[in-house]
Every structure is written in structure tokens, then in C-alpha cells.
Homo-oligomer: A and B are copies of this chain.
Amino acid sequence: MGIMRKNPEFQSLLRKSGYKATSSRMMILAVFRRLRHPLSAQEIIDSVGKAMDQATVYRTLTALKTKGIIRQVDLRHNHAHFELANAKEHHHLICLRCGRIEDISGCGIEELQSGILRKTKHFSEIRQHSLEFYGICKSCARGGGMSSDLHASRIAELYHSR
């Protein structure tokens, strides 16, 4: 794991958003950077161990989401997931059987969005969107089982998510 030193990039990101650059927030951002898939509150709570309370994790997630530093991803488990928003715009392809997640990008949603804005009578602005596709991955289509290249953490989460 190594020594945790403070990351000036995260520090200024937080300050620019009007937040104090506390060690809790720095640590949570570091977790997002290290684990590159959408994270649930519980996964973060586990990752940080007893370094902070779960209430702080939830409060931090809310704060980061409010400022658009992270964004919410809907995986249809029954809890929220989040990922860093700085990554290039992308969406997800989620296997309905094993939960494998593939990132997809360059899907051309911008045009859909401008078309919608042209059509709507009631909205003046679109700020966010969520787009996820659910299907069957090839390894599930083939055999029955989970592919072995599914990360352990992902498997653990699948196990614990009902």
C-alpha cells in the first residue's frame, strides 16, 4: 500500500470547489483513482478501513457529486455507484448474469442530446445523463460460469449484492 502522501492535484480540485482538502476527501479520491471501476459506498468504506466513519464516506460522496467531481452510475444493484468524472465521457455495458462491466465511449450520445433539447417544450438545459446497457457477455453466453478475468473485488461485490 505504501505511504499516502498528499496529492496537490486533488487538493486544488477540492479547494476550487469550495471545500477543505481534508484527509478523508483526499483518501476517497485516491481510492477512486486506484480502483478504476464504479464504486459503491460500501466498497469505499471497506477500502478505507477505520480511517474514517461511514457517515463521512456518505457525506463526502454527496459533496463530490454535488460539485461534479464524481458522477453517479446506475448498475441496478440496489445501492448507488460512483466514478471519477474527470475520465473521458463514457458509459457502461453490464452483464446481466455475471456483472462484468465494460466501458464504452465515443457512442455519439451528444447528438441525441442536442436533438432532445431541440424537441422538448419544458426543458431549457441538459446537464447530465446516464446511459447504461445491460446484456449478456460472451463468456456467460458460452459456458454458464463467470469468466476468470473478472476481478475479485467485482466478484465480491456481486456476491454481496442481492
Contact = CB atoms under 8 A, between A and B. Distances in A.
A93 B120 contact: yes
A125 B134 CA distance: 9
Contacts of A79: 78
A126 to B, nearest CB: 4
B115 A112 contact: no
Contacts of A112: 107-109, 112
Contacts of A141: 124-125
Given A125-B135, A125-B136, 16 more contacts: A72-B76, A78-B79, A100-B122, A102-B122, A104-B120, A107-B115, A109-B112, A113-B133, A121-B138, A123-B136, A123-B138, A124-B135, A127-B134, A127-B136, A129-B133, A130-B132
Given A80-B78, A130-B74, A104 B119 contact: yes
Given A78-B80, A131-B131, A137 B109 contact: no
Contacts of A113: 133
B122 A138 contact: yes
Contact of A128 (B126, B134, B137, B138): B134
A136 to B, nearest CB: 5
Contact of A124 (B115, B128, B134, B137): B137
A114 B100 CA distance: 19
24 contacts: A74-B130, A78-B79, A93-B116, A93-B122, A93-B123, A96-B128, A102-B120, A102-B123, A104-B119, A108-B111, A109-B112, A112-B112, A122-B137, A123-B135, A123-B138, A124-B136, A124-B138, A124-B141, A125-B136, A126-B133, A127-B135, A127-B136, A128-B135, A131-B131
